[in-house]
Amino acid sequence: MIVTNISKLTQVMARLRVGPSPREYGQMSKFRRTINQQRSESGFSSPCPNVGRHQHHGTGSASGNAYRGTALAFTAAFTFNLFGNSDNDKEETPEEKLINQIKRSILCVQREQYDKAEQMLHLALRMAQDLQSKDGITYVYDVMANLAMEREQFKKAEKIFTDVMKRLFADGHTEESPKILHISSKIAHMSQLQGDLEKSYQGFVWTLQQLAKLLEKVPEDKDIQELYGLTKNWY
């Protein structure tokens, strides 16, 4: 059940473009080996109410619309599959509560209830910290950064993305890691949207060069191909 839930969650993150590919986040299964299995006293709260939706105050530009379409691409059918009923008679483990908390935040983003989503992510971060789950903390930070990016809070998003990169480097990733390059591409794109064209240009050129090198090594890697295409499109 836990592995299935993690698989569903990583699939939705890939579709949302809020993080690297599902394969890269397969390491989230390390939750199982690092989490304290002691039961949490808090219960399963209901997802966001389906109330009035926040209006997205975007620029209305073609690049802004393209960015939003790429950043979040939800479908109703996928959401129903993701949030389908599970074994309600079983008490949730702390791990499952964390995963479901992140799911609820994603559902709120779908409904454009961004404030509610952010509240839930802060709770998820606290849960991950209580569980001393290094991967879980990094994962929640990544979702937070992408939420800020979706809300066009670019300075905030860049700061959180930078923290995520520091955590990834500390975990052994290098500049050639697709996770690092994915974040680098997003920072370059946000710089572009803010009018910092020099920083954007340097970021895109460096990222594309690194991705081109990776494609020479693993030309059949679809995740890298997609990231290269996404970065070229933004550039």
- What DSSP string runs through 19-39? SS-TTGGGGGGGHHHHS--PP
pLDDT at 92: 82
Token pair in block for residue 161: 């993305």
Distances (CA, A) of 187 to 70, 85, 146, 213: 15, 37, 11, 20
pLDDT for residue 159: 97
Q: Where are the domains of the chain?
A: 2-31+61-80+93-234
User: Which pLDDT belongs to residue 212?
Assistant: 95
The per-residue pLDDT for 109 is 87
Residue 70 or 177, more confident: 177
- Give the mean pLDDT of 156-164: 97
CA distance 191 to 210: 19
Tally Cβ neighbours within 10 Å of residue 44: 13
The predicted pLDDT at position 10 comes to: 47
Average pLDDT, the chain: 74
Q: How confident is the model at residue 128 (pLDDT cuts 50, 70, 90)?
A: very high
| Half-sphere exposure in the Cβ direction for 30 (13 Å, CA) | 14
Residue with tokens 């009035």: 52
- What per-residue confidence (pLDDT) applies to 88? 54
**Residue bearing the bigger pLDDT, 71 or 149:** 149
pLDDT tens-place string over residues 34-87: 443 433 433 434 445 443 343 333 333 444 444 444 444 332 333 333 334 445
pLDDT value for 91: 80
**pLDDT, tens digit, for every residue of 182-220?**
999 999 999 999 999 999 999 999 999 999 999 999 999
Per-residue pLDDT, 90: 73
Burial zone of 53 (CB within 10 Å; 0-12 exposed, 13-18 middle, 19+ buried): exposed
Task: Look at residue 44 in the predicted model and tell me its pLDDT.
Answer: 38
List, for residues 3-46, the tens digit of each pLDDT value: 444 444 444 444 444 443 434 333 333 443 444 343 343 343 44
pLDDT at 101: 93
Fold of 2-31+61-80+93-234: 1.25.40
